[in-house]
Amino acid sequence: MFDISQIREDFPILSREVYGKPLVYLDNAATTQKPLCVLDAMRDEYLNVNANVHRGVHYLSQQATDLHEAAREKVRQFINASKTEEIVFTRGTTEAINLVASSFCESQMQAGDEVIVTEMEHHSNIVSWQLQAMKRGIIVKHLPITDDGRLVCCDDIATYITERTKLISVAHVSNVLGTINPVEDIIRIAHAHGIPVLVDGAQSAPHFKVDVQAMDCDFFAFSGHKMYGPTGIGVLYGKEEWLDKLPPYQGGGEMIDKVTWEKTTFERLPFKFEAGTPDYVATHGLAKAIEYIESIGFDTIQQHEQELTRYCMEQLQSIEGMNIYGSQGTMGTVPSVSSEANCRGTVPCVRDAVVSFNVGDIHHLDMGTLLDRLGIAVRTGHHCAQPLMDRLGISGTVRASFALYNTKEEIDTLVAGIRRVAQMF
């Protein structure tokens, strides 16, 4: 059984007060809180095993290296990569996307070549490519979305592909709309044209099971801090065949084989992309976070979070002037588009663990600030998705996002808080 009270005991911060009110933390799409098992594991390593990895023959270094590489294996199992050589540690999803953008464009693209993203992307998956456009003259194209936040019909995606298209990069789940995109179908269409696909998994890895082999993506990126792990650590999965082709992203220690004044040769995978001392304590923390998630189980987590999302949307819709952005459709894992009758019009939309809204003419910043005084932590603004805000014709939203430790009672507090704020206006 899912004992929410026991779960919440693993997160001491949830029991604190803010402005004399019990904390209601609904900003999990930005970052999640950390369970004691993660904090204890990292503290223990600093106290008892702290030494630089890979470079020492002494006992502590070997212990630290074992923990670091055990974390790589844990990540491999978590996303079902075929080998640890395909797991590159980064500082987070943003660095992982920048790594691919830099190395891929340097070796695989020329001026005039195209990368395709979507209209709902996080800035990490827009600006990274725009920087390459400024440097190398590549072209960044975007797939449009409907008014309720769905991609165009998957069959129509092929019409955006040209002979100059070299890569498609797409969010698995929108951090604003909660839309779960049909990435398997996008990948199938892209591969039929010989085009690799990068999937931004920052908002999917914490919420439901990811299998990169079944998905058949070429790259997959996610962050530790959004899935109950430490900040400053993330993962880039890449198929070995692609990582072999790409040049190093940064230079320094760890990633070299041999250095002379005339030439440098590089380490084998994945170390070719891991310049400098890695955050080996954070990788251990990430492994513990994965173990924590697995101890509860994704079926349990997903069922709980979807029920919270459904309940929140139902309660919010009773508030006068409420405008919820994105589809009001089903919760859960996105169905294959190929199973839908002729894929008429748009991709079927599925929502996950995020609700973005505005109330009447109340500015999102005002709403968020006043909710904060009631102890309710939500995020306001453009959520690093300004092109999406432009598409929706708004400057920003209030966003409530859920994790495995949230409760319906917290949603009731949120709804009561919104009503109270609305009365003030």
* Residues marked as catalytic: 384
Report the distance separating Cα 199 and Cα 340, nearest Å.
Answer: 23
* 354 to 177, 301, 311: CA distances (angstroms): 7, 14, 12
8 A C-beta contact, residue 97 and residue 198 = yes
- Please provide residue 305's backbone torsions phi and psi, each rounded to the nearest 5 degrees: -70, -35
Beta-strand pair 350-351/330-331: parallel
To 10 degrees, what angle do helices 280-296 and 298-316 make?
A: 80
Tell which residue, 13, 30, 33, 29, has the closest CA to residue 375: 13
To 10 degrees, what angle do helices 408-424 and 298-316 make?
A: 30
Tell which residue, 11, 75, 68, 332, has the closest CA to residue 222: 75
